[in-house]
Amino acid sequence: MIKTLSRTLAAMATAATLALASTGALADAAKTINIGWTAWSDAEAVTKLAKRLIEERLDTKVELTMADIGVQYQGLAAGKMDAMLMSWQPLTHKPYLDKVGKDVVDLGPLYTRARLGWVVPDYIPAGELSSIEDLKKPEVQKKLGGHIQGIDPGSGLMQASEKALKTYGLDKYQLVSASDAGMLAALDRAMKRNEWIVVTSWSPHWMFANWKLRYLDDPKGALGGLESVNALVRKGFYQDHPEVYEFLNRMVIPIGDLEAMMHEAKQTSYEQAVDSYIKANKTRIDYWVTGKL
């Protein structure tokens, strides 16, 4: 009888231990969120900044899932992913939002004045070249050698640039394909020689923190207009993680700050750039976390 009771008590103790362990595991899972991202420099900077603050200030573990942008929209809509911090609106990601917009929650802009466009060094006189229309001038075409330096063939920016060539009747120009690194190398060479060059680019990009550049005006809107980059979360996220929801809803970073962080990350690492930004912007970050001014 004593042996039987002892075994029963032991079994009950084991069951209690397992129950507590299970409860702990569920609690840990409840305090973990999953954020999708793609290895774009601006997305990496914002996502790693948010991860650091959510983990350190809101006591919630963040798992990052790298995925194509379309997969992230689908994951959010299906509730398999909690958040993404790289929704370009209203134009660039319109096809994705048209499909799943009603199934996700938009928390608004993380940063504004994002755009695609054609960029020139600021030493090129604006009186001679300030607009895509000016590229039709024979003297401008000659100085540029009839070339516009592009990036990866098939990218959204290159597709928009091909459209711009047709929209503005720039049939005498060649859009040169290259990687992002190839475009930057061509720009660097031209600027060291004080030569004229037009490159395809976008904001935010660390190049604007590294060189004095300006966009060419696009009066016909062939390359799109100003956009915002928004935070999206799955439905039900607020009920499950109200503090993180409110944090993401308050998180807005000036695009110049973001480009400076991206530039520092290129020289060091994203982790070090995040450290520097947190130390230099205590008041802003305290507001993101607490909502108190």
pLDDT tens sequence across 66-82: 998 899 999 999 999 99
What's residue 21's pLDDT?
A: 44
Boundary (domain end) residue, out of 196, 215, 234:
215
Q: How confident is the model at residue 243 (pLDDT cuts 50, 70, 90)?
A: very high
Residues 246 and 104 in one domain: yes
Sign of CA dihedral 18, 24, 28, 30: positive
* CATH number of the domain encompassing residue 54: 3.40.190.10
Residues of the domain holding 103: 31-113+226-290
Q: What's the mean pLDDT when you consider all of the chain? A: 90
pLDDT surpasses 60 at 202:
yes
- Residue 30 pLDDT: 64
Residue type, 50: A
Q: Are residues 97 and 119 in the same domain?
A: no
Last residue of a domain, which of 180, 215, 250?
A: 215
Q: Is the pLDDT of residue 55 over 60?
A: yes
Structure confidence at residue 152 (pLDDT)? 86
pLDDT band at 282 (very low <50, low <70, confident <90, very high): very high
Distance CA 75, CA 36 (A): 9
Judged against a pLDDT cut of 70, whether residue 227 lies above it is answered with: yes
Q: Is the pLDDT score of 15 beyond 60?
A: no
Range 183-201 average pLDDT: 97
Residue among 47, 22, 20 at smallest CA distance from 33 = 47
Flag whether pLDDT at 24 surpasses 90. no
Same domain, 75 and 118: no
Q: What is the pLDDT of residue 7?
A: 44
Question: Number of structural domains, the chain?
Answer: 2
Task: Inform me whether the pLDDT recorded for 23 exceeds 90.
Answer: no
- Of 215, 248, 264, the one marking the end of a domain is 215
In this prediction the pTM is 0.79
Same domain as 96, residue 231: yes
Count Cβ neighbours within 10 Å for each residue of 161-190 and write b for 16 or more, e otherwise.
beebbeebebeebebbbbebeebbebbeeb
Distance CA 100, CA 116 (A): 24
| pLDDT of 200 strictly over 70 | yes
pLDDT, position 29: 54
